A = this chain, B = another copy of it.
Amino acid sequence: MSVDPVLSRIDSTLDDSLERLKDFLRIPSISTDPAYAEACDRAADWLVSDLQSMGIEAEKRPTSGHPMVVGHADGPGPHLLFYGHYDVQPVDPLDLWVNDPFDPQIEDTPKGRVIRGRGTSDDKGQLMTFVEACRAWIAEHGTLPCKITFFFEGEEESGSPSLIPFLEDNADDLKADVALICDTTLYDSRVPAITTMLRGMLKEEITITGPGRDLHSGMYGGPAINPIRVLARIIASLHDDQGRITVPGFYDGVPEIPDEIRAQWDGLGFDHTAFLGGVGLSVPAGEAGRSALEMIWARPTCEVNGIGGGYQGAGFKTVLPAQAHAKISFRLVGDQDPHAIDQSFRQMVQDMLPADCDVTFNSDGAAPASVMSIDNPMFETARQALSDEWPDEAAFIGSGGSIPVAGHFQTLLGMESMLIGFGKDDDQIHSPNEKYDIESFHRGTRSWARILQAISAT
């Protein structure tokens, strides 16, 4: 089966594809807010109908949260599972949007045409690149070139509480030769990418308590312990002078990146000056002796995402507060064990507590890093197909972020994931005025058409 007529059809029907996407985007499927539960349900129904309209067997599957959508389409080639999510982030602050987040508009911008609205890039627009590629294949050839299972989640933006039980309960129904996930970015506008390394995450909120109530710093300052100072000492001790993390055992399981990957990354010519300059910085902080790209893609981190304690309003109150808290997260790589690191971190904090102080920990989840095994030749096949579509050759890259579903596919279904996405760093996902480049949508759809053809031929 030739891909050329499929590509031609994708080109000629782009406007129809965009109209369908706009229709999908108009459903305000915010998963974190119970007020939008009906909208989430409606988005799942929309996907079921759309798959069915292409002759694909599909249904909505209930969970204790928002429903999953599962579809099956037969085909001659290998069996692929495609994953995307139909839920979106909240839209606050609404007044910063230039248009209604759920009334998507196509705009011409200095950097090209975009579609703007909540979910355009994360993840409805990306999800639909795959669906539109399948539609074009079926329209031209009456069938898909591979056997495909479609799997759409509605809780990705709210921590995926139903995902693991659903995967466990439906393992036979979902297991495929490899998973395709469209929820990542291009390397840049010329270089497409398959993300093969995702950092894991460990999140802990710690609260240090000292006095039984807020005290007057005049009456008690000196002999009374100050939880903010205790917390500051703990945070300051988490890194050494070389930017390395001091939690005992933290670097167990952190691999050096293989030479061939390092060579490929070096070839990308990453410009850390431009990268940091874009956010008002000039000098790479972090671990001494590591490049900025390596730090983001392949090194673990410890960051303080929030801190609070005492009086934070206008002016001054000379309070000596009863407690102080911080949200601390670790990005993990390689074989770092989130559980072991969590225990070690908690012990380290406990050991630093002075008399009269207590600490409580509030864990917000932990997931190990995902490193895809790219020995499967389908990875190289897909990389070649991507390279055929875009100006420059595709790269295997890392990602600083965490996409837990890829790890769950590995551990629960024994299945590697190819993370191929067409988002860009300036898409403003999770922020006001989210957009998706029309080029991303168009070339993304064409990319999937090529990838399916290439994989079917392996």
Contacts and interface: CB of A to CB of B under 8 A. Distances in A.
Contacts of A304: 226, 228-229, 232, 309-310
Contact of A296 (B223, B238, B239): B223
Interface of A: 199, 201, 203, 205, 210-213, 215-226, 228-229, 231-233, 235-239, 272, 275-276, 279-287, 290, 292, 295-296, 299, 301, 303-312, 315-321, 324-327, 329, 331, 354-356, 364, 399-402, 425, 430
B400 A301 contact: no
A281 B225 contact: yes
A239 B235 contact: no
A326 B309 CA distance: 9
For A220, A226, A233, the residue with the greatest tally of chain B CB atoms inside 10 Å of its CB is: A220
A305 B318 contact: yes
B305 A317 contact: yes
Contact of A280 (B201, B212, B315, B331): B212
B211 A282 contact: no
A217 B232 CA distance: 20
Contact of A301 (B221, B225, B307): B221
A306 B312 contact: yes
Nearest to A225: B285
Given A210-B280, A305-B319, A307-B324, 13 more contacts: A213-B279, A217-B305, A217-B331, A218-B400, A218-B402, A219-B400, A223-B286, A223-B296, A224-B276, A228-B235, A236-B237, A308-B308, A308-B312
A222 B286 contact: yes
Contacts of A401: 216, 218-219
Contacts of A276: 223-224, 356
B223 A303 contact: no
State the main secondary structure of chain A at its contact with B: mixed
Contacts of A219: 296, 400-401, 425
B316 A222 contact: no
A319 B331 contact: no
A127 to B, nearest CB: 20
A404 B319 CA distance: 18
A61 to B, nearest CB: 26
A303 B232 contact: no
For A225, A324, A327, the residue with the greatest tally of chain B CB atoms inside 10 Å of its CB is: A327
Contacts of A301: 217, 221-222
Contacts of A317: 305-306, 327
For A199, A225, A304, the residue with the greatest tally of chain B CB atoms inside 10 Å of its CB is: A304
B217 A315 contact: no
Contacts of A232: 231-233, 235-236, 304, 307
7 contacts: A218-B401, A223-B296, A228-B235, A232-B236, A233-B236, A305-B321, A312-B327
Given A228-B304, A229-B304, A308-B308, A221 B282 contact: no
A176 to B, nearest CB: 27
A354 B401 CA distance: 25
Contact of A320 (B272, B275, B305, B355): B305
Nearest to A308: B312
Contacts of A399: 218
A236 to B, nearest CB: 4
Contacts of A223: 272, 275-276, 281, 284-286, 292, 295-296
